[in-house]
Amino acid sequence: MAKLSVRLDDRVGTISPMLYGHFAEHLGRCIYEGLWVGEDSPIANTRGVRDDTVAALRKLAAPVIRWPGGCFADDYHWRDGIGPRDERPRRLNVWWHDEESNQFGTHEFIDLCRQVGAAPYICLNVGAGTPEEAAAWVEYCNCARNTSRAQERGLNGSPEPFAVRYWGVGNENWGCGGRFDPDDYAREYRRFACYLRGRSSSPIELVACGHTGPDWNRKFLDAIGDLRMLDHLSIHRYYNCGDAVDFSDTEYYNLFPRALQVEADVVEAATAVALYNRPAKKIGVILDEWGVWHPEARGDSGLYQRNTLRDALTCAAVFDVLNHHADKVTMANIAQTINVLQCLCQTDGAAMWLTPTYHAFALYQPHMGNASVRVDLDDIPTVAAREGDGREVALPVVSASASVDEAGKAAVLTFQNLHLTEPCDCRIRLRGGSIAKATGKLLTARDVRDCNGPEAPRKIRPKRLTLEPKATTLRIELPPHALASVRVVLR
Ligand code: AHR
C-alpha cells in the first residue's frame, strides 16, 4: 500500500505553463514534413503550416516553441529565411548534413506559433554570427518604429511587430555553439546582450547558455559580472538505457534514475544562480532541451526514434521534478516536437499519430498555471536500479506531484506506478481541503514496449478512471507501468 498525502496549504510556487514547452529544430523531419509542408502540398495546411500537427499542439495548449535550434541555430543566418520563398538561398546544414531550403524562416515560424497559440522563442547565432546580425534580427522582429528593418518586415507581409519575448544568446556554446570556455562565452555574451534590448519595442528576456555540472555555470556567472544582462540560465539533459523498444526489464528501471538526474541539474543550476541573484533581479533556470535520446536516433536518420510507454513514464517522472521545483524553473522544452527524439507527434507522409509522450503531456496539462503543492509519499515500495555511473539505487515505484488552482477550488494530482509487474494500491489523502467530486484518466498499455504507429495510431491512449472518493480520501489501484491524473473539485 502506498500513501500519498496532498498538502494543499503547502505551496511551492506557481507552475509556469512554460514548463510544458517545446523545442523544434531544422533537423530530420521536425520542421520540414512535421510542421511545414508548403502551401502546394496535398497534406492539409494553412499557409504551408501542417494542420494536423498544429491541431494536436493546440489541444495541449503548447505554451512556447523554441526555434531554429539547437546546434543549427549557431550556424543559421536569419536573412536567408525572409523574403520571397523562391528567391531564398539553399545552404548546407553543417550539423545535420542536410541541405537547408530556407522555405521555413522567421515569418513562417511566427505564423506557426500564432496558429498553435504558443509564444515564440528564438535562439540567436553566437557561434558563427555577430552581435550586429543578432541585434538586427531582434529589430526586424520587434521594432515598432519606422526603421528600414521594420519597414522591410512590413514589405514581407507583417507590418505589426512580432513582439518575440524570449531570445536565447546561443546554444550549447561549450560545444556546437562555438566551443567557448565559460570566460570567453561570458565576454561574447556581454557583447551580444549589450545591443539586443535597445532594438526591441517590447520587453524581451535573454537566455544565457549554461551547462550541467557546476564549473561552467559558476565561472560564467562570475565572469559576467552584471547580472542585469540575463534573465534565465539554460541547461540541457538527455538520457537513455538500452534499445528504444527492445529494452530489458533492467534497462527499463535503469532509465528512471538517468531521467531523474534532471533534479540534480536543476538544483545545481539554481544554486549557482542563487549565489548571484539580487532580490530585485531573479534569474530563472530553463531546461531548454530534455528527453530520452535512444541509440537508434542518429544524425543520418534525422534523430528519429520509436517512442514507447516507457518514454511517457519517464516524461511524467521529469514533470514531477519540474512541478516540485516550480519556484526555480521558468521554462522547459522537450526535444523535439515532431518526428525527432522524444517527440509528441510522428508523421509518415500524410499519416500522423500521437506518441505516448503526447498523452503524458495531456495528463499533466491541468497543472499549468496552478500552484504546486507538496505531496508526502510514505510506504512506497522500491525496486533496485542503477544510476548512469553504475551506482545502485532503490527506486521508489511511485512518483507524484500535485497542484491547486488560484481560487483554491480544484486540485490536480498526477502519479504513477513504475513497477513492471505489480499493481500499486494508492491511498490518497487530501490535507487542507475535502473532495466534492473527482475525475481521472489513466495511461497504460498491455506491454510497456508498445508504441503507436501508422497501423495502430490509438493503441496507447488515456482511458477514463472510475473513482469513488470519500470526504478527504481516495483509493486507486494503479496497474503496473501506469500513469494517472486526477482532478478534484474541492468543497
Ligand atoms: O536536439 C538535438 C541536439 O542536441 C541539439 O541540436 C543540440 O542543442 C543538442 O546537443
pLDDT in tens, 34-77: 999 999 999 999 999 999 999 999 999 999 999 999 999 999 99
- Residue 126, exposed/middle/buried by CB under 10 A (0-12, 13-18, 19+)? buried
By percentage, how much of the chain surpasses pLDDT 70?
100
β-strand pairing of 398-404 with 392-396? unpaired
Confidence of residue 282 (pLDDT cuts 50, 70, 90): confident
Cβ neighbours of residue 155 closer than 8 Å, sequence gap 6 or more: none
308-329 confidence digits (pLDDT tens): 999 999 999 999 999 999 999 9
25 lines ligand 1 (CB under 6 A): yes
The pLDDT assigned to 2 comes to 96
136 C-beta neighbours (distance < 10 Å), count: 18
The pLDDT assigned to 279 comes to 64
Helices assigned H by DSSP within 277-355: 309-324
Distance CA 35, CA 18 (A): 20
Distance CA 65, CA 338 (A): 12
pTM higher than 0.75, yes or no? yes
336 lines ligand 1 (CB under 6 A): yes
β-strand pairing of 410-417 with 398-404? antiparallel
Distance CA 121, CA 272 (A): 24
341-381 confidence digits (pLDDT tens): 999 999 999 999 999 999 999 999 999 999 999 999 999 99
* Residue 268 annotated to the active site: no
Q: In what helix (H) or strand (E) does residue 416 lie, and over which residues does it extend?
A: strand 410-417
Q: Is 218 or 300 the better-scoring residue by pLDDT?
A: 218
392 C-beta neighbours (distance < 10 Å), count: 10
DSSP class of residue 300 equals G
- Report which ligand 1 atom has the smallest distance to the Cα of 335: 1
Residue 160 identity (one-letter amino acid): E
The pLDDT assigned to 280 comes to 65
- Shortest-distance Cα residue to atom 6 of ligand 1: 70
Of 172, 188, 205, 268, which one is the catalytic site residue? 172
- Shortest-distance Cα residue to atom 7 of ligand 1: 70
The pLDDT assigned to 181 comes to 97
- Report which ligand 1 atom has the smallest distance to the Cα of 303: 2
- Shortest-distance Cα residue to atom 3 of ligand 1: 70
C-alpha distance from residue 124 to each of 66, 159, 207, 215, 301 (Å): 11, 22, 10, 24, 26
- Dihedral over alpha carbons 216, 220, 222, 226 (to 10 degrees): -160
Select from 212, 269, 218, 260 the least CA-distant residue to 236: 212
How far, in Å, from the CA of 381 to the mean position of ligand 1?
36
Place of cell 546582450: 193
C-alpha cell at 232: 534565465
Torsion angles phi and psi, residue 51, rounded to 5: -70, -40
For the chain, the straight-line distance linking the first and the last C-alpha, in angstroms and rounded, comes to: 27
Q: How far is CA 486 from the centre of its chain?
A: 22
- Report which ligand 1 atom has the smallest distance to the Cα of 341: 1
92-116 confidence digits (pLDDT tens): 989 998 899 999 999 999 999 999 9
DSSP class of residue 141 equals H
Select from 290, 326, 286 the least CA-distant residue to 206: 286
Lowest mean pLDDT segment, chosen from 136-145, 208-217, 250-259 = 208-217
The pLDDT assigned to 97 comes to 85
* Residue 160 annotated to the active site: no
The pLDDT assigned to 276 comes to 83
How far, in Å, from the CA of 217 to the mean position of ligand 1?
19
